[in-house]
């Protein structure tokens, strides 16, 4: 078997059976190897950012890695933004990037690029296979790296000759390196801090969904600490029956206010809180001066193990904690409002749905009613690089074929990776895409206002507004093979959402605000 086939067999032998792909001409041997292994599910994306974002969404729901396949340097460049998001959210991905045959690399051929350089600028682990017999081992090490520390970006570069020459037998990957646990003194210190007044347990990663969230909520209840999370986290169990979690807000002043009076913050799978951006005259971090931030368990550590230990130290087992009530709003009527769309969605959302959010400014109005909707998982863009909304839910839907998926997206953000609509149609994914068509980058207007500039001239307006012409979202959906409806009133939003949820396969709702 050649090197490419040894890699495909190694991926499959280690349980990596899904590949989000946008191959180029240098990856043909790998394509041929995939082709002879129909147990590998290959999902074509028409833009590489759709593939990297889908692998990210897949990880968030499966808590395990998928593979991607990208063309040498520029193809990886197109994947970069959502690899950045995945890195920030702690999602593991095994990237396979093609490259020129080693003997061809000394020439300045059109596609020769700095494959290692661009990979290293976003990947935790990068290797370019040196020869075909190393490919299986390199693949196994890439899988191990991607599964280590809770999820990492691992990129294996496959020069064409290492794919076409004779390879070695497939190799079983070593188990990921064990995730670090805090020591007993740290656990005990955290327990002491949490019992003090004005304490916050800040959760992320596995502490924000599943049994981890229950344990975290019990610990908070037992110690009297507030249970909070960052705003941008990979997955949050939300809706009726799940623990009440307060997310930190985006605007710096609101974030400072949310943490006012806090004396201790204990990090549980969360990074140290930091404001999204710095502003003149405002601090970079949101906690009050003098507040102690105790880094008990970083995102790459053993979050569930730490929760176990802290639960014992605080006697939290069995402690009851406040959960979100089921409180479905009335179906909205009248002129279209974002609040109305949020109510309609909260009313209609089926149990166990997956909701992806990249609606940016509109999310402030759309998301609150969902707290009391039927239980669901909320997925949010973690690295601030918009263009993750559609890809993320594509991967989530492939990971969870039995669950309804809903994507809330702004028009500006959806345009970066609009090609994902086609993959949704091709794979018949059960996704309702709700596009909030506010005809602009509303977040930029907000940031400009934060600088005190309220009147714009021609250039700022040209860069903030997506109009003249307006995008026609129903036409865009049709172009990608996705049915759609346009909502210009709250009643129409209800009808469109109902139709979308009843449709097998994807459906797009254009909300004209």
Query: What is the C-alpha to C-alpha distance for residues 240 and 231, in angstroms, rounded to an integer?
Result: 19
* Stretch of 43-51, 148-156, 344-352, 371-379 contacting a second copy, by CB under 8 A: 43-51
Q: Does position 187 bind a second copy by CB under 8 A?
A: no
Q: Which of residues 244-273 bind a second copy (CB under 8 A)?
A: 271-272
Closer of 25 and 488 to a second copy (Cβ): 25
Q: How far is the CB of 40 from a second copy (least distance, A)?
A: 7
Among 117, 211, 241, 368, binds a second copy (CB under 8 A): 117
Closer of 282 and 312 to a second copy (Cβ): 282
Q: Does position 49 bind a second copy by CB under 8 A?
A: yes
Among 15, 109, 326, 502, binds a second copy (CB under 8 A): 109
Number of other CB atoms surrounding residue 53 within 10 Å = 35
20 bridge partner residues: 43, 68
Q: Which of residues 155-174 bind a second copy (CB under 8 A)?
A: 160-161, 164
Among 15, 121, 177, 197, binds a second copy (CB under 8 A): 121
* Stretch of 53-61, 104-112, 201-209, 324-332 contacting a second copy, by CB under 8 A: 104-112
Q: How far is the CB of 358 from a second copy (least distance, A)?
A: 13
**Residues touching a second copy: how many (CB under 8 A)?**
106
Q: Does position 471 bind a second copy by CB under 8 A?
A: yes
Number of other CB atoms surrounding residue 98 within 10 Å = 28
For the record, the structure tokens of 124 come out as 């935790």
Q: How far is the CB of 463 from a second copy (least distance, A)?
A: 5
Q: Does position 100 bind a second copy by CB under 8 A?
A: yes
Query: What is the C-alpha to C-alpha distance for residues 350 and 9, in angstroms, rounded to an integer?
Result: 39
Q: What is the dihedral of CA 97, 101, 104, 109, to 10 degrees?
A: -30
Closer of 158 and 316 to a second copy (Cβ): 158
**Could you give the string, one character per residue 80-99, with x where binding to a second copy holds by CB under 8 A and - elsewhere?**
xxxxxx--x-----------
Angle, in degrees to the nearest 10, between helices 3-13 and 135-147: 30
Q: Does position 107 bind a second copy by CB under 8 A?
A: yes
CB 471 within 8 A of CB 437: yes
Q: Which of residues 374-393 bind a second copy (CB under 8 A)?
A: 382-385, 387
* Stretch of 69-77, 143-151, 179-187, 492-500 contacting a second copy, by CB under 8 A: 69-77
* Stretch of 9-17, 79-87, 315-323, 363-371 contacting a second copy, by CB under 8 A: 79-87
Q: Which of residues 438-457 bind a second copy (CB under 8 A)?
A: 443-444, 447-448, 450-451, 453, 456-457
Number of other CB atoms surrounding residue 330 within 10 Å = 8
CB 51 within 8 A of CB 70: yes
∠ CA(365), CA(367), CA(372), 5° rounding? Answer: 125
Q: Does position 224 bind a second copy by CB under 8 A?
A: no
∠ CA(149), CA(405), CA(240), 5° rounding? Answer: 85
CB 370 within 8 A of CB 355: yes
User: DSSP letter string over 233-301?
Assistant: -S-EEESTTSBP-EEPPSSHHHHHHHTTT--EEEEES-PPP--SS--TTS-SS-SPTT-EEEEEE-TTS
Q: In what order do the strands lie in the sheet with 18-22?
A: 41-44, 18-22, 67-70, 93-99, 153-159, 125-128
* Stretch of 72-80, 345-353, 363-371, 486-494 contacting a second copy, by CB under 8 A: 72-80
Number of other CB atoms surrounding residue 25 within 10 Å = 11
Closer of 275 and 337 to a second copy (Cβ): 275
Query: What is the C-alpha to C-alpha distance for residues 37 and 61, in angstroms, rounded to an integer?
Result: 24
Q: How far is the CB of 392 from a second copy (least distance, A)?
A: 14
Q: Does position 23 bind a second copy by CB under 8 A?
A: yes
Q: Does position 320 bind a second copy by CB under 8 A?
A: no
**Could you give the string, one character per residue 294-313, with x where binding to a second copy holds by CB under 8 A and - elsewhere?**
--------------------
Q: Which of 396, 397, 399, 403 is nearest to 374 (CA)?
A: 403
Closer of 345 and 379 to a second copy (Cβ): 379
Q: Does position 498 bind a second copy by CB under 8 A?
A: no
* Stretch of 287-295, 350-358, 371-379, 475-483 contacting a second copy, by CB under 8 A: 475-483
CB 303 within 8 A of CB 207: yes
Closer of 475 and 502 to a second copy (Cβ): 475
For the record, the structure tokens of 396 come out as 């989530």
* Stretch of 136-144, 170-178, 395-403, 467-475 contacting a second copy, by CB under 8 A: 467-475
Among 36, 177, 327, 333, binds a second copy (CB under 8 A): 36
Q: Does position 175 bind a second copy by CB under 8 A?
A: no
CB 334 within 8 A of CB 486: no
CB 80 within 8 A of CB 71: no
CB 299 within 8 A of CB 270: yes
Angle, in degrees to the nearest 10, between helices 303-314 and 210-223: 30
Query: What is the C-alpha to C-alpha distance for residues 120 and 397, in angstroms, rounded to an integer?
Result: 29
For the record, the structure tokens of 477 come out as 């959906």
Q: Does position 139 bind a second copy by CB under 8 A?
A: no
**Could you give the string, one character per residue 395-434, with x where binding to a second copy holds by CB under 8 A and - elsewhere?**
-----------------x--xx-xx--x--xx--------
Query: What is the C-alpha to C-alpha distance for residues 266 and 272, in angstroms, rounded to an integer?
Result: 9
Q: Which residue has the tokens 């028009």?
A: 411
């Amino acid at each position: 078997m050649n090197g490419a086939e040894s890699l495909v067999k190694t991926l499959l032998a280690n349980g990596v059976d899904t590949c989000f792909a946008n191959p180029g001409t240098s990856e043909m041997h790998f394509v041929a190897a995939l082709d002879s292994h129909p147990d590998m599910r290959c999902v074509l994306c028409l833009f590489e950012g759709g593939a990297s974002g889908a692998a990210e969404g897949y990880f968030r729901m499966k808590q395990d890695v998928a593979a991607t396949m990208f063309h040498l340097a520029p193809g990886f460049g197109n994947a970069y933004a959502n690899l950045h998001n995945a890195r920030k959210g702690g999602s593991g991905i095994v990237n396979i990037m093609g490259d020129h045959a080693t003997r061809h690399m000394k020439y300045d051929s059109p596609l020769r690029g700095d494959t290692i350089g661009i990979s290293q600028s976003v990947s935790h682990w990068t290797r370019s296979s040196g020869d075909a017999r190393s490919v299986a081992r390199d693949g196994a090490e890439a899988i191990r790296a991607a599964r280590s520390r809770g999820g990492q970006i691992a990129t294996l570069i496959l020069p064409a000759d290492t794919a076409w020459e004779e390879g070695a037998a497939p190799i079983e990957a070593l188990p990921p390196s064990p995730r670090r646990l805090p020591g007993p003194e740290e656990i005990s210190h955290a327990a002491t801090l949490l019992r003090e007044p004005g304490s916050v347990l800040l959760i992320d990663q596995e502490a924000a969904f599943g049994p981890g969230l229950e344990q975290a909520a019990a610990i908070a209840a037992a110690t009297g600490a507030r249970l909070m999370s960052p705003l941008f986290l990979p997955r949050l169990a939300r809706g009726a029956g799940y623990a009440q979690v307060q997310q930190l807000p985006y605007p710096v002043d609101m974030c400072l206010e949310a943490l006012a009076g806090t004396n201790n913050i204990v990090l549980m799978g969360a990074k140290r809180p930091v404001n999204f951006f710095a502003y003149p005259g405002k601090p970079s971090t949101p906690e009050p001066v003098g507040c102690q931030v105790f880094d008990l368990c970083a995102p790459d550590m053993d979050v569930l193990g730490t929760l176990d230990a802290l639960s014992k130290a605080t006697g939290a087992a069995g402690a009851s904690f406040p959960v979100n009530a089921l409180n479905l709003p009335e179906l909205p009527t009248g002129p279209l409002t974002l609040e109305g769309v949020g109510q309609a969605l909260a009313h209609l959302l089926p149990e166990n749905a997956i909701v992806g959010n990249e609606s940016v400014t509109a999310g402030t109005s759309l998301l609150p009613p969902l707290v009391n909707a039927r239980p669901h998982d909320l997925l949010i863009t973690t690295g601030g690089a918009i263009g993750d909304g559609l890809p993320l839910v594509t991967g989530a839907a492939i990971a969870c074929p039995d669950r309804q998926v809903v994507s809330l997206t702004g028009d500006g953000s959806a345009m970066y990776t609009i090609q994902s609509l086609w993959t949704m149609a091709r794979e018949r994914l059960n996704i309702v895409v709700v596009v909030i068509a506010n005809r602009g980058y509303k977040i930029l207007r907000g940031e400009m206002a934060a600088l005190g500039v309220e009147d714009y001239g021609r250039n700022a307006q040209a860069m903030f507004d997506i109009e003249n012409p307006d995008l026609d979202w129903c036409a865009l959906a049709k172009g990608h093979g996705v049915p759609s409806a346009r909502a210009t009133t709250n009643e129409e939003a209800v009808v469109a959402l109902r139709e979308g949820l009843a449709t097998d396969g994807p459906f797009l709702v254009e909300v004209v605000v």
